[in-house]
Amino acid sequence: MFLHPAIIMFYVTLFTSVAITTSTNSWFVAWVSLEINLLAFIPLVVNKKNKYSVESALKYFLIQSLASIFIILASATVIKQDLSLLTMAMLFLKMGVAPLHQWMPALVDGLSWPIFTLLMTTQKINPLVLTFFLFNTNYTYVFIILCITISSLVGALGGLTQTSLRKIMGYSSIAHLGWMLATLTMSSWVWLTYFIIYGFVLASVAFLFNHTQMTTLNHVSNMNKSYLSLIIAMSILSLGGLPPFTGFLGKLLAIQQLVYTPENFLLIPLLVSAYLTLFFYARILLTSLILSASSANSLNKYKETNPNLITFNLIGLLFPAICMVML
């Protein structure tokens, strides 16, 4: 079904909307590209064909439509400060930035792992790019600082009580958004580097979870101890930003940039968030490596592991960090 021409068309439309947003200088065209992005993403969500995916698609459509309505309303506002503040708030709603994040954990369980990866990466590019160009007033500065702090703490604390892997990754995404927005306040493109690294590591983790058909911590604990469980553990540590894995590079670049700016006080909630997220990543790590059951009681009957794909995944997790150390 993935190779069906209609599905290919939706993927092409999705990435075309991203290209339009990043290249236009018109807010109207940017809004149109956001709507094209929404209309292309909804069919991909319901492609799973179960009641949970339909429910997730409906929730996503309603939230994104509400944000789009207020963006159009903001464009009709005469006062520039109101335009910037309201538009930024709606862009944050589209991304799932705390405290406008409640819709995201409610719909991620209905998504397949590939579509979940798209939601956490590709669907955030358009709002992040528009936020980058919108960050120009004192009103938006105070608002974005507040959202960075709340996102960091909510993303870290929210994942502590979850057993669903998708919800854990969803709250992790909220915490990572705090880091991206913090680098965005410096009016530099460091946020894009962080986003690319995060997207690469998240895709790596999602690939492994999709390969093993894991959805909860119980599935991880019932997986046999193997080379694959070691790679999953290393991928999780990379997503947490632990050196020497690839995920650490993004946080290192962000810290190096933030420490020399007036926004260096943001490092306090960001680093606290990093420590807390490492805790619930450690839960997955421990269940993957230590609390593994015997094959007779295994809940995960997944297909035979492709050693080439897993080896490529491992090289991707370590190679960038190794190159940086050598240079």
Mean pLDDT, range 126-145, rounded to an integer: 77
pLDDT band at 301 (very low <50, low <70, confident <90, very high): very low
For 108-120, write each residue's pLDDT tens digit.
888 888 888 888 8
Percentage of the chain beyond pLDDT 70 is 76
What pLDDT does 311 receive? 64
pLDDT band at 293 (very low <50, low <70, confident <90, very high): very low
The overall average pLDDT reported for the chain is 78
In three-state secondary structure terms, 77 is coil
Residue 164: phi, psi to the nearest 5? Answer: -80, 130
What pLDDT does 136 receive? 58
Angle between helices 267-289 and 138-158 (to 10 degrees): 20
- What ranges do the domains of the chain cover? 5-326
- Compute the distance between CA of residue 7 and CA of residue 40 in angstroms, rounded to an integer: 9
**Contacts from 299-302 at CB under 8 Å and sequence distance 24+?**
299/218, 299/219, 299/222, 300/212, 300/213, 300/214, 300/219, 300/222, 300/223, 302/211, 302/212, 302/213
Mean pLDDT, range 229-240, rounded to an integer: 76
Q: Per-residue pLDDT for 44 more than 70?
A: yes
- Compute the distance between CA of residue 40 and CA of residue 206 in angstroms, rounded to an integer: 21
Which two tokens mark 60? 């996503």
For 174-228, write each residue's pLDDT tens digit.
988 888 888 887 767 788 888 888 888 888 888 888 877 777 777 766 665 566 7
Mean pLDDT, range 263-272, rounded to an integer: 86
Q: Per-residue pLDDT for 2 more than 60?
A: no
For 235-245, write each residue's pLDDT tens digit.
777 888 777 77
For 20-37, write each residue's pLDDT tens digit.
888 888 778 888 888 898
Q: Tell me, what amino acid is at 93?
A: L
- Compute the distance between CA of residue 241 and CA of residue 198 in angstroms, rounded to an integer: 9
Please compute Rg for the chain using Cα positions.
20
| Range from 241-245, 276-280, 306-310 carrying the lowest mean pLDDT | 306-310
Tell me how long the chain is.
327
Task: List CB contacts of 183: < 8 A, sequence separation 6 or more.
Answer: 190, 191, 194, 253, 254, 257, 258
- Compute the distance between CA of residue 40 and CA of residue 118 in angstroms, rounded to an integer: 12
Tokens 């690839």 identify what position? 246
